[in-house]
Amino acid sequence: MSLLHLLAALLLTTGARHDPGRASLTVTVDSARREVVVSAGPFVIPPRQADTAAMAMDMDQSMRNGEIEAGRFPWPVSRLFRAVELEVTDSLGRPLPRRLLHHLNLINFDRRQLIYPMVERFIGFGQETEDIALPRTAGLPLAQGQRIGLYVMWDNGTGHELDGISVRLTFHWLPRNQQPPPLTVLPLIADAHEVAGGSDGFSVPPGGSVTTVAFTLPLSGHLLGATGHLHDHGLWVRLEDAETGKVIVTVEAKRDSAGRVLGMARHLLALRGEGPHLRAGHGYRLAVAYDNPTADTLREVMGFLYGAFVPDVPGDWPTLDPTDADYLRDLASLEPNRP
């Protein structure tokens, strides 16, 4: 990632840090409620700054482009998980607006992404993301002992420092004896500007633009559902068949009159049947549209499609290659102190 990209990323974030002596990450299991609860904090979050030098001085060694590694832990139980809820709270446990959180990612260091040869981002929340739930007939597999990392980026636009901020994620798993057996669903993530170990951000000129990127899949399966992630002034993300031009799904942004993205549409594609069938080795295309009504270039915007993917043969899911250059760059960016 270039210095210009780093400075642009810093302008969007804060120098958030753990509160020394108090910050922690805890994981609890409630078998009666079929829940895993992951809690992290408290954090001290300075206000958003334009002084990049001051922000750089405030960043500690656990940060990657303004993103804090809040902790790592072994996943506690082997189950299929269908839902997760996010809470952001103050020092008294009172709920805070989710827009304080630029984004949050949970990373599985022991499973590969479908499209990219990098570690899996299996749960992600942006400012506009609502709580996540799959149909009761489907679940995401997580295995006991898998190495999980929690990463957080804040966006404190209040104008003053916030102290004692925490996040809490509650995961709900499916009964083991559920009949018929639920489908195994894994994440499909397509990025409009994927750079292993670097910035996902790209620029949009005045007037707007449509950014496209082509890709193939290593195995076949059905797309059960789709949503997306866009920054302000984003219009939509779209999955297309690159060989026929057919639109598979378009995910629209929910925006206010100023173009601020308030949420993203969610499409369940298997209401009738199994959902679109995506084929291994076939050409697909991600398209991302932005409107830019300003006279300035929008910088470090993002465009993601998030899909719930049901592989035809779950056992054929690609594995991580420890010698792959993109994997090594990705891992190094997530482990800033790695030699």
Q: What is the pLDDT of residue 271?
A: 72
- Residue intervals of the chain classified under CATH 2.60.120.230 are 185-334
pLDDT of 270 higher than 90: no
Say what percent of the chain tops pLDDT 90. Answer: 73
Q: What is the pLDDT of residue 50?
A: 56
pLDDT of 8 higher than 70: no
Q: What is the pLDDT of residue 23?
A: 60
Amino acid identity of 152?
V
Q: What is the pLDDT of residue 9?
A: 29
Q: Which CATH number fits domain 3-173: 2.60.40, 1.10.3300, 1.20.58, 2.60.120?
A: 2.60.120
Q: Does domain 185-334 have CATH number 2.60.120.10?
A: no
pLDDT of 129 higher than 90: no
pLDDT of 3 higher than 50: no
Q: What is the pLDDT of residue 64?
A: 42
* Buried/exposed 316-334: b ≥16 CB within 10 Å, e otherwise: ebeebeeebeebbebbebb
pLDDT per position as a tens digit, 211-237: 999 999 999 999 999 999 999 999 999
The CA-to-CA distance between both ends of the chain, in Å, stands at 19
pLDDT per position as a tens digit, 84-102: 999 999 999 999 998 898 8
Q: Which of 131-135, 199-203, 216-220 has the lowest mean pLDDT?
A: 131-135
